[in-house]
């Protein structure tokens, strides 16, 4: 949520910041702005709307300087207009800040500062930080920032600059921030992607750390003033992975990337029918597993419950991370708490992990972004290696998560000394190829999307392991096409949702050929007889007659079926959004990683 990029060095600063912002735009796109120290003054330019609006500003021309901070906003406090856009300045217009997070005590702080004579321009919580720093400033920007941060409650990823000081001060609590170490240049950024073109050397700031960067050097302390030695990490992926590569949108590219992404999740993890996961965890002592996650990751956790209870016979609970953290959950030492997160930065999931740790449970992360906060907080982890996911709607991370859970489940069996189902291992190795086969039907799916795009609502139905797939199909559709959709267990439909059915109402069934097919057929008939339009995603070749539209997926084992079944649903949502003229990469009101509560 919100993207920050800051630079100190000799490169042309405006194009560098704008390009970085564009890469970070998936984090929020309500407004954007930048501040550059041009030698005489701090020059702030901001616009409401997308970065393309900021880019149009004539004021950017001839703007030069060697220190700058920039921000793309996902609004929390204050409407997304130009005044509330970041950067924010102090009264003297000598200190500029960009902030990601929420200052929870901003109302009280603002009152105190107003009484001291500070005047405020915006409705944001963030502006208090600029005035607080101004209030504490006695010749050292780092000291003033540290003192200011000791007064605030809440979360921040923060970059601060001051006229006449050739440095940037950056700080983090709860909102991701990295320092990029270049050659005679330094960066501060919310995400390595924003600076990858310039450097692959990064330092991940941890909570309550404050970095002071100059062109040549960096210094990191905690908010109590203690110096900290930090490791410089080398980013292993490159800029090519965050380009659209000829696809119209990142989402479409990421859907089509899934066969390779699945191969990457598998790479090196199955050898001679042995599961290789280097986990710092004694899985034999696990008595219960609790999954915590949000959104799409929560749906893969639900699938995880089916997989683990079936294969391992270990009881599994699945919690929304946001609920788990506040309900004083019963967690015991022999529980394993698994956090699933694409970004590894979701605030609720992170807080839930901390709750589990405080109750002495062991924690495991199933995370895509290498080096992300959750991956550093957990006792042990499995990276997805799905590659950067830029589209706001999660696609390849979802299928990677399900596969990673399955590998973990098989690993538990292996560690117990139990025999692993040989045919399941074989089927896993065929999975990427089977996923690829689904794309042969993408034109057919686009036509179905065209036919359905004006529908006002959809119902997605699935049973067993496919119930979470139905939920995921509904989430995908509503978040990028703004069409209301609900996911239900197929048989549950007659307990209420059936009232929605009228002529032409689209109902999407996700259905495996198994012992429940006949039961689902009755539910299909119940919808059909009320005029509903039946769209079936299935590996069963005998359902043509009962459907209005049918999308076949290759047959696979039950545990793997969600991975194949979800792909047509992702495509369907994508095409509906695109045909409606909506940018599926940046749907309204959303941001890729939700780093606020």
Q: Is 394 in the site for ligand M6R (CB under 6 A)?
A: yes
Read off the tokens for 226. Answer: 């203690």
For residue 551, what are the contacts with CB-CB under 8 A and spacing of at least 6? 441, 444, 445, 448, 535, 536, 537, 538, 568
CB of 194 to ligand M6R, least distance (A): 17
Q: CA 42 to CA 279: how far, in whole Å?
A: 49
Phi, psi of 171 (to 5 degrees): -145, 155
- The nearer residue to ligand M6R, 142 or 343, going by C-beta atoms, is 343
For residue 525, what are the contacts with CB-CB under 8 A and spacing of at least 6? 546
CB of 329 to ligand M6R, least distance (A): 19
- The nearer residue to ligand M6R, 135 or 345, going by C-beta atoms, is 345
Stretch of residues binding ligand M6R (CB under 6 A), selected from 107-115, 305-313, 390-398, 500-508: 390-398
CB of 477 to ligand M6R, least distance (A): 11
Q: CA 149 to CA 157: how far, in whole Å?
A: 11
CB of 516 to ligand M6R, least distance (A): 27
Nearest to 409 by CA among 305, 271, 334, 331: 305
Helices (H), 439-545: 442-452, 467-481, 517-528
CB of 472 to ligand M6R, least distance (A): 8
Nearest to 382 by CA among 369, 357, 364: 364
CB of 415 to ligand M6R, least distance (A): 27
Helix 561-579 / helix 422-438 crossing angle, nearest 10 deg: 20
Q: Is 594 in the site for ligand M6R (CB under 6 A)?
A: yes
CB of 592 to ligand M6R, least distance (A): 7
Select the residue interacting with ligand M6R from 6, 48, 122, 296 (CB under 6 A).
Answer: 296
Question: Do the strands 549-552 and 533-538 form a parallel or antiparallel pair, or are they unpaired?
Answer: parallel
Q: CA 490 to CA 133: how far, in whole Å?
A: 57
Binding mask 322-361 for ligand M6R (x = CB under 6 A): -------------------xxx--x--x------------
Please indicate whether residue 19 is annotated as part of the active site: no
Helix 561-579 / helix 442-452 crossing angle, nearest 10 deg: 50
- The nearer residue to ligand M6R, 141 or 475, going by C-beta atoms, is 475
Please indicate whether residue 310 is annotated as part of the active site: no
Nearest to 191 by CA among 371, 383, 381: 371
Say if residue 214 is exposed, middle or buried (CB neighbours under 10 Å; 0-12, 13-18, 19+): middle
- The nearer residue to ligand M6R, 476 or 533, going by C-beta atoms, is 476
Interaction residues for ligand M6R, span 103-162 (CB under 6 A): none
Select the residue interacting with ligand M6R from 160, 195, 393, 477 (CB under 6 A).
Answer: 393
Q: Are the beta carbons of 255 and 413 closer than 8 angstroms?
A: no
- The nearer residue to ligand M6R, 187 or 398, going by C-beta atoms, is 398
**Catalytic-role residue among 46, 434, 533, 592:** 592
Q: Is 448 in the site for ligand M6R (CB under 6 A)?
A: no
Q: CA 130 to CA 44: how far, in whole Å?
A: 14
Select the residue interacting with ligand M6R from 72, 375, 593, 595 (CB under 6 A).
Answer: 593
CB of 205 to ligand M6R, least distance (A): 19
CB of 393 to ligand M6R, least distance (A): 4
- What single DSSP character describes residue 244? -
| DSSP string across 510-536 | EE-SSTTHHHHHHHHHHHHTTTPEEEE
Tallying the residues shown for the chain, one arrives at 597
- The nearer residue to ligand M6R, 171 or 475, going by C-beta atoms, is 475
- The nearer residue to ligand M6R, 68 or 391, going by C-beta atoms, is 391
CB of 296 to ligand M6R, least distance (A): 3
Binding mask 461-500 for ligand M6R (x = CB under 6 A): --------------x---x---------------------
**Catalytic-role residue among 2, 35, 189, 520:** 2
CB of 339 to ligand M6R, least distance (A): 8
Q: CA 248 to CA 381: how far, in whole Å?
A: 34
Select the residue interacting with ligand M6R from 101, 157, 295, 473 (CB under 6 A).
Answer: 295
Phi, psi of 183 (to 5 degrees): -95, 105
Size of the site for ligand M6R (CB under 6 A): 16
Nearest to 457 by CA among 422, 426, 429, 484: 484
Q: CA 499 to CA 527: how far, in whole Å?
A: 10
For residue 591, what are the contacts with CB-CB under 8 A and spacing of at least 6? 1, 2, 26, 27, 28, 29, 74, 392
Whether the upstream peptide bond of residue 465 has omega within 30° of 0, thus cis, is: no
Q: Are the beta carbons of 26 and 585 closer than 8 angstroms?
A: yes
Binding mask 265-294 for ligand M6R (x = CB under 6 A): -----------------------------x
Q: Is 258 in the site for ligand M6R (CB under 6 A)?
A: no
| DSSP string across 68-103 | EEEEEE--SSS-SSTTTSSPEE-TTS-EEEEEES-B
Stretch of residues binding ligand M6R (CB under 6 A), selected from 165-173, 230-238, 295-303, 417-425: 295-303
Select the residue interacting with ligand M6R from 103, 178, 392, 596 (CB under 6 A).
Answer: 392
Binding site for ligand M6R (CB under 6 A): 294-297, 341-343, 346, 349, 392-394, 475, 479, 593-594
Residues involved in catalysis: 2, 592
């Amino acid at each position: 949520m919100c993207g920050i990029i800051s630079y100190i060095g000799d490169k042309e600063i405006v194009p560098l910041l704008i390009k970085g912002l564009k890469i970070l735009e998936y984090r929020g796109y309500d407004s954007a702005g930048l501040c550059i120290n041009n030698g005489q003054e701090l020059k702030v330019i901001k616009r409401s709307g997308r970065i393309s609006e900021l880019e149009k500003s004539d004021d950017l021309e001839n703007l030069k300087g060697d220190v700058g901070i920039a921000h793309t906003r996902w609004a929390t406090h204050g409407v997304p207009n130009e005044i509330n856009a970041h950067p924010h300045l102090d009264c003297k217009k000598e200190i500029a800040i960009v902030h990601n997070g929420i200052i929870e005590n901003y109302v009280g702080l603002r009152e105190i500062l107003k009484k001291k004579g500070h005047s405020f321009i915006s409705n944001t919580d963030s502006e208090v930080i600029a005035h607080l720093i101004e209030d504490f400033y006695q010749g050292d920007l780092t000291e003033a920032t540290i003192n200011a941060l000791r007064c605030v409650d809440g979360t921040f990823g923060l970059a601060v600059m001051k006229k006449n000081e050739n440095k940037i001060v950056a700080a983090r609590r709860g909102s991701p921030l990295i320092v990029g170490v270049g050659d005679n240049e330094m960066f501060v950024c919310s995400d390595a992607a924003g600076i990858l073109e310039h450097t692959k050397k990064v330092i991940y700031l941890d909570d309550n750390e404050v970095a002071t960067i100059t062109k040549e050097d960096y210094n990191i302390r905690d908010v109590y003033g203690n110096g900290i030695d930090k490791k410089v990490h080398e980013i292993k992926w490159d800029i090519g992975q965050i380009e659209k590569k000829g696809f119209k949108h990142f989402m479409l590219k990421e859907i089509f990337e899934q066969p390779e992404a699945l191969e990457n999740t598998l790479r090196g993890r199955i050898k001679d029918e042995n599961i290789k996961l280097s986990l710092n965890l004694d899985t034999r002592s696990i008595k219960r597993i609790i999954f915590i996650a949000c959104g799409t990751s929560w749906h893969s956790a639900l699938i995880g419950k089916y997989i683990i209870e079936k294969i391992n016979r270990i009881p599994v609970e699945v919690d929304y991370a946001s609920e788990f953290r506040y309900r004083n959950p019963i967690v015991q030492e022999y529980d394993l708490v698994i956090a699933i997160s694409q970004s590894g930065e979701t605030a609720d999931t992170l807080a839930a992990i901390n709750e589990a740790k405080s109750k002495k449970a062991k924690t495991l992360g199933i995370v895509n972004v290498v080096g992300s906060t959750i991956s550093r907080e957990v006792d042990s982890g499995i990276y997805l290696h799905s590659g950067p996911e830029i589209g706001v709607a999660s696609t390849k991370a979802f299928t990677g998560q399900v596969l990673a859970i399955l590998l973990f489940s098989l690993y538990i069996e292996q560690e117990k000394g139990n025999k692993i189902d040989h045919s399941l291992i074989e089927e896993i190795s065929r999975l990427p190829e089977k996923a690829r086969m689904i794309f042969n039907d993408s034109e057919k799916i686009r036509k179905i999307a065209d036919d359905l795009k004006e529908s006002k609502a959809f119902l997605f139905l699935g049973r067993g392991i496919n119930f979470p797939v139905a939920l995921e199909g509904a989430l995908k559709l509503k978040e990028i096409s703004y069409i209301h959709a609900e996911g239900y267990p197929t048989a549950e439909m007659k307990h209420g949702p059936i009232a929605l059915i009228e002529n032409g109402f689209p109902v999407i069934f996700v259905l495996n050929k198994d012992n429940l097919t006949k039961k689902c057929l009755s539910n299909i008939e119940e919808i059909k007889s009320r005029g509903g339009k039946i769209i079936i995603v299935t590996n069963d070749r005998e359902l043509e007659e009962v459907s209005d539209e049918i999308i076949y997926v290759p047959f696979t084992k039950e545990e793997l079926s969600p991975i194949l079944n979800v792909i047509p649903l992702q495509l369907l949502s994508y095409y509906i959004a695109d045909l409606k003229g909506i940018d599926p990469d940046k749907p309204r009101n959303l941001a890729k990683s939700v780093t606020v509560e």
